[in-house]
């Protein structure tokens, strides 16, 4: 894919919300290009520059916001006023601020769950969905991470694992969350580092990764504090809620592409099958490999985005350039 000329790059900016958050937004591509919104995973991870490579810089206008508390958004790592309802409101505020009527939405992992919630809440704003490695926010979806015999064994070391009558995954997540929120600085940092190691194990990444300085470790801690905040509460969604949302999206006929790694150990392949059952119009593509948006998965994302382009008339409508009644596309 060609590297865009500097004139084709759009400036980053900060979107201030009515309740005091500052959302960092990157843009790339061309100003008049087909608009696409990218929703990062985590929760708490932030958008990465590599995500822009999925798009054609001469054809697309790509909007990459860091969700509340994540990435370069401020206040960094905050859980205050940080709910899925607020995230959805932020996306609508962003769309309105940019003057975009409808856009395609790409979401991976947690971002796929948020994309489904957004398309259900604001159906008129979404022209197409591309969902990678979908996370459905059920407690069974976090079981592997907090399984005492699996990847979570080291994560749970030294933590009080009393379940207090809660299901296993939720009780273990609660124990970890309490340390991340209320432990000493050393306890918090050690727990975040063990979470990262457990995550790397599930992703199939060898070793502990690069040595991190204090700033990087602080960002890592904020990420997992925010992630625990959302996971324990099922992000205010839950699997049944998301599947019902998917069914409504299916009835609306929104073009949907589901991409899922055959060997995904973070978000199990059964999630894609459940979504396809709820949205029969969805195209399901199995991709070799695991959960990460790299290699063949990155290529599949680019192909799905290119194949999801909507009509020229609808594209002009997205920018408010036509009257749908006059142009006969209402």
From 112, 127, 84, 25, select the one nearest 230 (Cα to Cα): 84
What pLDDT, on a 0 to 100 scale, did the predictor assign at position 162?
55
Tokens of 183: 């432990």
Residue 129 and residue 92: Cα distance in Å, rounded?
16
Catalytic member of 141, 201, 291, 308: 291
Give 287-324 pLDDT, tens digit per residue.
Answer: 999 999 999 999 999 999 999 876 544 444 444 444 33
Tokens of 173: 């997540």
Give 134-148 pLDDT, tens digit per residue.
Answer: 999 988 787 766 765
* Helix/strand/coil for 137: coil
Query: What distances in angstroms separate CA 26 from CA 37, 135, 313, one per listed residue?
Result: 10, 24, 27
What pLDDT, on a 0 to 100 scale, did the predictor assign at position 315?
42
What pLDDT, on a 0 to 100 scale, did the predictor assign at position 48?
93
What pLDDT, on a 0 to 100 scale, did the predictor assign at position 1?
38
Query: What distances in angstroms separate CA 235 from CA 93, 137, 213, one per listed residue?
Result: 20, 7, 30
No. of H helices and E strands in the chain?
Answer: 9, 8
Give 229-257 pLDDT, tens digit per residue.
Answer: 998 888 889 999 999 999 999 999 999 99
Instruction: Classify the phi-psi angles of 238: left when phi > 0, otherwise alpha if psi is within -120 to 50, otherwise beta.
Output: left
How many beta carbons lie within 10 A of that of residue 119, not counting itself? 25
Query: What distances in angstroms separate CA 49 from CA 54, 55, 97, one per listed residue?
Result: 10, 12, 22
- Catalytic (active site) residue 264: yes
Residue 70 and residue 53: Cα distance in Å, rounded?
21
User: Which portions of the chain are predicted below pLDDT 50?
Assistant: 1-7, 164-166, 312-330
Q: What is the mean pLDDT of the chain?
A: 86
- pTM value is 0.88
Catalytic member of 45, 109, 177, 308: 109
What pLDDT, on a 0 to 100 scale, did the predictor assign at position 310?
67
Structural domains of the chain, with CATH = 6-137+238-318 (3.40.50.1820), 140-235 (no CATH)
- Catalytic (active site) residue 291: yes
């Amino acid at each position: 894919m060609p590297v865009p000329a500097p004139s084709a790059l759009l400036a980053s900016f900060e979107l201030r919300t009515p309740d005091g958050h500052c959302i960092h937004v990157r843009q790339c591509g061309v100003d008049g290009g087909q608009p696409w919104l990218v929703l990062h995973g985590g929760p708490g991870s932030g958008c990465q520059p590599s995500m822009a490579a999925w798009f054609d810089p001469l054809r697309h206008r790509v909007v990459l916001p860091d969700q509340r508390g994540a990435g370069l958004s401020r206040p960094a790592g905050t859980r205050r006023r940080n709910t899925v309802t607020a995230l959805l409101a932020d996306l609508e505020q962003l769309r309105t601020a940019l003057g975009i009527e409808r856009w395609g939405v790409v979401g991976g992992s947690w971002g796929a769950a948020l994309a489904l919630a957004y398309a259900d809440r604001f159906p008129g704003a979404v022209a197409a969905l591309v969902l990678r490695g979908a996370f459905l926010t059920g407690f069974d979806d976090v079981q592997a991470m907090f399984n005492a015999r699996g990847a979570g064994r080291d994560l749970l070391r030294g933590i009080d694992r009393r379940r207090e009558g809660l299901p296993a995954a939720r009780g273990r997540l609660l124990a970890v969350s309490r340390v991340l929120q209320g432990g000493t600085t050393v306890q918090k940092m050690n727990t975040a580092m063990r979470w990262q190691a457990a995550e790397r194990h599930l992703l199939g990444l060898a070793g502990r990764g690069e040595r991190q300085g204090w700033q990087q470790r602080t960002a890592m801690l904020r990420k997992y504090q925010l992630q625990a905040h959302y996971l324990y509460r099922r992000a205010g969604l839950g699997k049944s809620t998301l599947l019902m949302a998917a069914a409504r999206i299916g009835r609306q006929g929104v073009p949907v592409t589901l991409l899922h790694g055959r060997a995904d150990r973070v978000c199990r392949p059964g999630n894609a099958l459940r979504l396809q059952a709820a949205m029969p119009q969805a195209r399901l593509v199995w991709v070799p490999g695991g959960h990460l948006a790299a290699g063949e998965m990155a290529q599949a994302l680019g192909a799905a985005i290119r194949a999801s382009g909507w009509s020229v008339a609808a594209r002009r409508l997205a920018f408010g350039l036509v009257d749908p009644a006059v142009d006969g596309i209402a």
